[in-house]
Chains A and B, each alone.
Chain A
Amino acid sequence: MTKDNILLKLENVSKIYKMGEVEVPALKNVSVEIKKGDFVAIIGASGSGKSTMMNLIGCLDTPTSGNIFLKSKNISLLDESDLASHRGKTIGFIFQQYNLIPSISTFDNVLLPLEFQEIDDKKASERVKKILSIVGLSDKMFNLPTQLSGGQQQRVSIARSLVGDPEVILADEPTGALDSVTGKDILRILHKLWKEEGKTIILVTHDLKLAKYAHTTIELKDGEILKTYQNHNEVG
């Protein structure tokens, strides 16, 4: 395996939350490598440190110790502003609670990342329309998030994560707020993005059935990696 193949690397990463006097170790000396184009599921019980790991990978938080490399760049050394543009261009987020801006339309929500990247208007709006048709929401372009169902909102959030054409998509319990049928739909979209678009997908879930869509599974327990294994006959 060549070094170019490694998209993400965690090197002895620890994260300790301080709550007043109490220290909560959420990740303990974790080292892991994620290959470009992989579909990784991070599983584990609630409180095992999945979200913590996700936030570190997504540059939303900084580790207490250790190094994180994104495309062989040490992001532990970047400042807030550089991290922000890095995030915008390289990473797309999908959250459990969709996290759409409630006061603006579907279209504007998906457009937002491109506005931060200062992409010119015409190009940006064409891109937004294309992405919305991919997730099947062309007819809901001018609806507010509150006028959409949960599954539709999550598809808007997928569209938003895709619009900047990121290399990696991070999804933290994306189906957690959805019924199982809608949840499967969302997983199928992610799977398709992996298979057909070659995106690197990192999925956090506590649902082992959903983890079967992934190619690689990392299992966490109490802030440590219990085991990592490949799934050679993933569903999808």
Chain B
Amino acid sequence: MKFTKAFKHALNMVLHSKLRSWLTILGIIIGVAAVISIVAMGEALEQDMTSQLDDLGGDLLTLTAGASSAHSFGQGRMGNFGGSASATDEEIVLDKTDLQALKGVSDIKLMDTQISGRVDIYYVAEKGSVTVTGVDPLTWYQITTSKLKDGRMLGSADSNVIMIGGRVAESFFDKQLGINQLITIEDRLFRIVGILDDQSTSVYMPINLAYEIIDDKEKGVYDKIIIKIKDEEQIDIAMENIEQKLMIARHVTKDKLDFTLSSNQAQNDSRAEMINSLTMFLTAIAAVALLVGAVGIANTMFTSVLEKTKEIGIMKAIGARNNDILIIFLLNAGLIGLIGGILGIIFGTLLSGSLPALMGDTTGIMNRMFSADTIINLKMSVIAVSMSVFIGMGSGAIPAYQASRLKPVDALRYE
């Protein structure tokens, strides 16, 4: 029998199949849809990771006050500024003394002192809440990994000016924000001088202004010091030297550290690891779903062969060779896989398209994850369809072979 004829009969078998076959196809659909949406998610996460790794230079360190873990929480140096209430508290902070100490470390190229907090922001009649970060305008533009989309960076002579993240400009308010527009933050008017090329809702301003805007911030005390080192290759040595210097300045020992120094590299590594294991876990679930689909096809094929035993006998009586029967049943199984695969891709795409709405679309990851180029990925679709056809034929192979080996007289007698 010619291949096209065998294909016609296989297709006819699928179209005339009972509900059971369609349930099997549903199994494949779920498996493929799961794989599609998980692969889409994993790919997007990975893309996001790599773009962040590109952005955040590996030569940056972040210094914060307080121990990184509770058990090493030690006795800190007291805040000692301007007779404020906190001067007598035993609060652990970062301040000018630390900055002074760090200036003596030769590995350091630049430092940026930062504070941040949430503030209310007003534009025309609308109100919102954003994170304001006060930065050192002298160094920030050299340290930050954010790229400029429009306008300019903050300068040393600036007052009452801000830079805003891409999302604040694009979609935070009903109207888009542009360069030189004025917005109100906590009763004060600011002029936008620059827009960042990102999807953040951050607002940046010189740190001196930020002290006046953000509640409960004390001048001369920093939330964070971002350190850029001279040689990325020597990051371990640089961290060692910085830690030494700070331990002396803050009178603490190694096992009672009251500050945390972390590299972006390390942060990224652990995040990548986490995403990796998450993706692996999800992939395992998808694989199980596909496996269930494959078992379903095999089961359907076995029952189908039983059901069609008499027809196999008839076909053999009127001249079908073993190979004809084998090919018809293999194609039948492959077609079940093909139909399931194609529908699975459609449902998988719809599913991953509707996820952001369900999860509250807020972050850049989500945005990138579900952008058109990730979802309607031709390569991925081809792989998924050929995979399910392969699974269909693979799991249909044994029943198809058994069907082809039936003795005509036995098959004909079957009721």
Give chain B interface residues in 300-326, CB to chain A under 8 Å: 310-311, 313-324
- Does chain A have a CB within 8 A of B356? no
Contacts of B408 in A (CB 8 A): 60-61
Are A117's CB and B2's CB within 8 A?
Answer: no
- Does chain A have a CB within 8 A of B13? yes
Contacts of B324 in A (CB 8 A): 116
Q: Is the interface of B mostly helix, strand, loop or mixed?
A: helix
Are B316's CB and A61's CB within 8 A?
Answer: no
Give chain A interface residues in 81-106, CB to chain B under 8 Å: 81, 84-85, 87-89, 92-93, 95, 99-101, 103-104
Give chain B interface residues in 1-23, CB to chain A under 8 Å: 1-2, 5, 12-13, 16
Contacts of A117 in B (CB 8 A): 319
Are A93's CB and B2's CB within 8 A?
Answer: no
Q: CA of A55 to CA of B5 in the docked complex: distance in angstroms?
A: 28
Are A103's CB and B2's CB within 8 A?
Answer: no
How many residues on chain A are close to B (CB under 8 Å)? 28
Are B319's CB and A116's CB within 8 A?
Answer: yes
In-complex Cβ contact of B319 among A87, A100, A101 (8 A):
A87
- Does chain A have a CB within 8 A of B407? yes
- Does chain A have a CB within 8 A of B383? no
- Does chain A have a CB within 8 A of B412? yes
Are B407's CB and A61's CB within 8 A?
Answer: yes
- Does chain A have a CB within 8 A of B409? yes
Contacts of A81 in B (CB 8 A): 321-323
Contacts of B12 in A (CB 8 A): 103-104
Given contacts A103-B13, A104-B12, contact A113 B409 (CB under 8 A): no
Given contacts A61-B407, A101-B311, A104-B12, contact A160 B318 (CB under 8 A): yes
Given contacts A85-B319, A93-B318, contact A60 B1 (CB under 8 A): no
Are A101's CB and B314's CB within 8 A?
Answer: yes
Q: CA of A81 to CA of B325 in the docked complex: distance in angstroms?
A: 11
- Does chain B have a CB within 8 A of A58? yes
List, sorted by A's number, 30 A–B pairs whose CB atoms are closer than 8 Å.
Answer: A60-B407, A60-B409, A60-B412, A61-B408, A80-B322, A81-B321, A81-B323, A84-B316, A85-B321, A87-B316, A88-B318, A88-B320, A89-B319, A93-B318, A95-B412, A99-B314, A99-B317, A99-B412, A101-B311, A101-B314, A103-B13, A104-B12, A112-B315, A113-B319, A115-B5, A116-B320, A117-B319, A118-B2, A160-B318, A164-B318
